[in-house]
């Protein structure tokens, strides 16, 4: 069982809003399909692209898992309270189980976004994929990139992203690379 702090609740609410693609206050299957498809299209991957199909399949797999653990009223959609309750009940469980779930998803994103296949993303890549997939404004994506790129080399990797995402959920320190992962938290 995850200890639900006020700070984690705010982070979960922020993450919920990034999943809620149509902004109707609920997570639904279509939210996961639309965001993955839009991100793939941003980088030139049409419906027949294997990389796009993989990303959509992983997104739908995440949706199916969320429905199973969070949709307590079985209405085919997940409200914010259900989403938070699933986390409190141990949806992420440990940093290790978290990593097992996130690495394939990040690899699928990299397959689409990292067009030169060097294993690194630029700030422009970060701006494009986070806007397309999660509606993150450019200024937030720039700041996120700056904070994740701890060595200041102008690139971030899957490892950097994974560390930031892990920090978003498991580290309440303002120094955590994930502290600002999805932009500023609402008060």
pLDDT tens by residue, 156-177: 999 999 989 888 888 888 777 7
Q: How confident is the model at residue 187 (pLDDT cuts 50, 70, 90)?
A: very low
Calculate the CA 52 to chain-centre distance.
Answer: 16
With a CB cutoff of 8 Å and minimum separation 6, the contacts of 21 are 30, 31, 32, 34, 35, 135
- Supply the DSSP string of 22-37, one letter for each residue: T-SSSB-HHHHHHHHH
> Worst-scoring range by mean pLDDT, 30-34, 64-68, 109-113?
64-68
As a whole number of angstroms, the distance between CA 104 and CA 141 comes to 22
Q: Do 133 and 39 form a contact (C-beta atoms < 8 A)?
A: yes
Domain 6-170 CATH class label: mainly alpha
Portion of the chain with pLDDT greater than 70, in percent: 94
Q: Is the pLDDT of residue 90 over 80?
A: no
Q: How confident is the model at residue 91 (pLDDT cuts 50, 70, 90)?
A: low
Q: Is the pLDDT of residue 85 over 90?
A: no
With a CB cutoff of 8 Å and minimum separation 6, the contacts of 129 are 39, 42, 43, 109, 112, 113, 121
> Worst-scoring range by mean pLDDT, 132-136, 157-161, 179-183?
179-183
The DSSP bridge partners found for residue 68 are none
Q: What is the pTM of this model?
A: 0.88
With a CB cutoff of 8 Å and minimum separation 6, the contacts of 13 are 80, 84, 186
Q: What is the pLDDT of residue 82?
A: 94
Q: What is the pLDDT of residue 2?
A: 61
Percent helix / strand / coil, the chain, rounded to 5: 60, 5, 35
The domain segmentation of the chain, as residue ranges, is: 6-170
Closest CA to 98 of 171, 6, 21, 156: 171
3-state secondary structure of 9: helix
Portion of the chain with pLDDT greater than 90, in percent: 63
């Amino acid at each position: 069982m995850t200890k639900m702090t006020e700070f984690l609740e705010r982070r979960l609410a922020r993450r919920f809003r990034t999943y809620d693609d149509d902004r109707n206050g609920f997570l639904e299957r279509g939210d996961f399909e639309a965001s993955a498809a839009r991100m793939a299209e941003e980088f030139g991957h049409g419906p027949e692209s294997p990389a796009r199909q993989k990303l959509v399949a992983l997104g739908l797999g995440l949706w199916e898992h969320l429905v199973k653990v969070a949709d307590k009223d079985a209405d085919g959609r997940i409200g914010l309270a259900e989403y938070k309750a699933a986390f409190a009940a141990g949806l992420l469980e440990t940093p290790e189980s978290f990593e097992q779930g996130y690495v394939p998803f990040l690899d699928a994103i990299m397959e689409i976004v990292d067009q030169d296949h060097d294993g690194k993303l630029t700030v422009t890549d970060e701006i494009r994929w986070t806007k397309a997939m999660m509606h993150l404004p450019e200024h937030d994506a720039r700041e996120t990139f700056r904070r994740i790129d701890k060595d200041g080399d102008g690139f971030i990797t899957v490892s950097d992203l994974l560390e930031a995402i892990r920090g978003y959920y498991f580290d309440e320190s303002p120094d955590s690379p994930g502290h600002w992962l999805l932009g500023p938290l609402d008060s």
